[in-house]
Structure 1
Amino acid sequence: MNLVRSELLKIRTTNTWWLFGLGALLAWALTFALNAFSAHVTFDLDIPEGLPPEQVEQLQAQKDVVVQATNLFTSGQFFGLLFVTLLGILVVTNEFYHQTATTTFLSTPRRTAVVLAKLVAATLLGAVFWLVTTAINIPATMIFLSAEGVDHHLGDSVIIEALLLNLLAYVLWGIFGVGFGVLIRSQIGATITVVVLYLLGTVAASVLFVVLQQIFEADWILELQVIVPSIASQLMITGDELPGSPPQWVGAAVLIGYAVVTGVAGTLLVRKRDIS
């Protein structure tokens, strides 16, 4: 616990935490506004006649109040996970950027304990980000849905499950950040790599799977998008309420698998690598 407290102290006593927090807050505000606008348009949408049954089912699911409420209650996840990942990266790369890695490992020769402390610190930071965004999302969503004249369904098991799985996503992406930081010790290199992979990689993967689905005319190909971590995170909060989507547990299993691999790989690399 002393190691964990020291890792949190390194973040808390620098400008990093509030700069990332401010960025996450601005991203949340933009995301919630877009989600609210989308929900407003969806509630007023009339389903045209003559559409294929699959599209009708999809639109009807989108108009479901619970689906829209779940999306609103978890607003800010996409960019929030990115900020949490970047914080996880900094937990590791700050040691090399400020040349404190040697001192850290000399004072605590058990490298595995140091890496575990960094992983725990990253998960706690992820939980804090989730707590803050959720604390803002709940009243904001309740106010918006009340203005729309619909119930917020906050007590429904579907929404509670989505909120808890959203917490799991924040925690796991903090672990991803530590893994990336160990793999790429350059702070700038790791940050740029993660931002590019997260933002452009998600879009590129979605386009690729759509193209493959059109080529092979197989709908099951679209479900394979869940192997992309960012898409798996979105599935965890959307669930199987939308037709054609895999169950929520699939997204959770994919993220947990990635977290285990990155956590173990990061620990092994730090134990073997020369840190001088």
Structure 2
Amino acid sequence: MTATLTATRTPSASTRTFTRPSLARLTGVELRKMADTRAGLWLMVITALVSVAVVVIQLFAAHPADQTFKNLFQSTMFPTAILLPVLGILSVTSEWSQRTALTTFALTPQRQRIAGAKVLAAVVLGVLAVLPGLVFAAIGNAIAGGMDSAAGSWSFSAMLLGYAVLFSVINVLFGIGFGMLFMNSAVAIVLYFVVPTVWSLLTGLISGLKSTSEWLDLSVTSTPLFDDAALSGGEWAKLAASVGLWVLLPTVLGLTRLLRREVS
């Protein structure tokens, strides 16, 4: 009696097929990484608390006629614009300071895809960052209307909301660009606060630089985004020029450095 044995062969490592993660999945991972760290989580909490504090201050200090949904919402955008770019910086620099770059780029060797996912995650974060401001402003406006009949106007346009989203996205991408360029948390955060401030002071003190600030000072060119009027062609051109200097240029230089830096 003979028995026939059939051996089942498992595919060898060389014959297995691997599918690389989609850009959408990488973007989701980068978004989760922004909130997974203690620094990122607390930064989001502090940003929300500061926005609430700004609304509360407006309720007690502002004139009732100025206590409107639009004004309360716009006031919440300033702490968001200042603090959330730091989260964008940390999302890039933490790969090197916490030595996770080796794992990240081993799982996805195409570094440009990781960089693209970080940029897309920053855009999503910038859009989502507007939502808490809307909620806080709505609550504050309802309270203001109950306290004084002269307050509580709900007048608000879709154009202002779009401008607020654009303002938020630009600032978060500002942080991403600085993070890619310097790849060091302390250096990037300090320079993010210092360099634009020094530039604004110089353009304000030196009369010869005043015309330059109208084109290359992001704090000046983004101001029309808070006006209840459509931007003119000249205002869009000035905003594009300042975004090119403070957002696009650091991102391009940082991406070049990211693609060439040795991972260790």
TM range, smaller chain:
0.7 to 0.9
| Aligned counterparts, 1:63-78, within 5 A | 70-78=70-78
SS of equivalent residue, structure 2 residue 75:
coil
1:104 corresponding residue in structure 2: 104
Q: Does residue 46 of structure 2 align to residue 23 of structure 1? A: yes
Distance 1:240 1:38, change over 3 A: farther
Q: Does residue 36 of structure 2 align to residue 13 of structure 1? A: yes
CA contact (8 A) 2:34 2:41 kept: no
1:232 corresponding residue in structure 2: 221
Structure 2: distance between partners of 1:111 and 1:87:
20
1:260 corresponding residue in structure 2: 248
Structure 2: distance between partners of 1:5 and 1:27:
26
Structure 2: distance between partners of 1:248 and 1:39:
29
Q: 1:172 corresponds to which letter in structure 2? A: I
Q: Does residue 260 of structure 2 align to residue 272 of structure 1? A: yes
Distance 1:175 1:31, change over 3 A: same
CA deviation string 1:28-61 (max 9, x = no partner): 13333444456418x5xxxxxxxxxxxxxxxxxx
Q: 2:123 corresponds to which letter in structure 1? A: T
CA contact (8 A) 2:178 2:188 kept: yes
CA contact (8 A) 2:96 2:183 kept: yes
Structure 1: distance between partners of 2:136 and 2:111:
38
Q: 2:255 corresponds to which letter in structure 1? A: T
| Aligned counterparts, 1:22-61, within 5 A | 22-36=45-59, 39-40=62-63, 43=65
SS of equivalent residue, structure 2 residue 150:
coil
| Aligned counterparts, 1:1-276, within 5 A | 1-36=24-59, 39-40=62-63, 43=65, 70-145=70-145, 147-150=147-150, 152-157=152-157, 160-197=158-195, 200-201=197-198, 205=200, 207-212=201-206, 221=210, 224-225=213-214, 227-238=216-227, 249=236, 252-254=239-241, 256-257=243-244, 258-276=246-264
Q: How far does residue 92 in structure 1 lie from its aligned partner after superposition?
A: 0.6
Distance 1:272 1:110, change over 3 A: same
CA contact (8 A) 2:215 2:221 kept: yes
Determine which structure has the larger helix proportion and give its number: 1
SS of equivalent residue, structure 2 residue 78:
helix
Q: 1:135 corresponds to which letter in structure 2? A: V
1:50 corresponding residue in structure 2: none
CA contact (8 A) 2:126 2:172 kept: yes
Larger radius of gyration: 2
CA contact (8 A) 1:236 1:249 kept: no
Structure 1: distance between partners of 2:250 and 2:228:
25
Q: How far does residue 152 in structure 1 lie from its aligned partner after superposition?
A: 4.7
SS of equivalent residue, structure 1 residue 88:
helix
Q: How far does residue 135 in structure 1 lie from its aligned partner after superposition?
A: 1.8
Structure 1: distance between partners of 2:91 and 2:168:
15
Normalization by structure 1: what TM-score?
0.71
Structure 1: distance between partners of 2:253 and 2:204:
32
CA deviation string 1:242-261 (max 9, x = no partner): xxxx9864665356434333
How many residues of Structure 1 are paired with residues of Structure 2 in the alignment? 239
Q: How far does residue 164 in structure 1 lie from its aligned partner after superposition?
A: 1.8
Structure 2: distance between partners of 1:236 and 1:38:
24
Q: How far does residue 138 in structure 1 lie from its aligned partner after superposition?
A: 2.5
SS of equivalent residue, structure 1 residue 74:
helix
Q: How far does residue 194 in structure 1 lie from its aligned partner after superposition?
A: 1.8
SS of equivalent residue, structure 1 residue 170:
helix
Query: Percent identity at matched positions?
Result: 25
Q: How far does residue 86 in structure 1 lie from its aligned partner after superposition?
A: 0.6
Structure 1: distance between partners of 2:202 and 2:58:
25
Q: 1:263 corresponds to which letter in structure 2? A: T
SS of equivalent residue, structure 2 residue 173:
helix
Structure 2: tracts of 5 or more residues without a match: 1-23
CA contact (8 A) 2:129 2:168 kept: yes
RMSD of the TM alignment (CA)?
3.4
SS of equivalent residue, structure 1 residue 75:
helix
Q: 2:111 corresponds to which letter in structure 1? A: R
CA contact (8 A) 1:236 1:252 kept: no
Structure 1: tracts of 5 or more residues without a match: 44-64
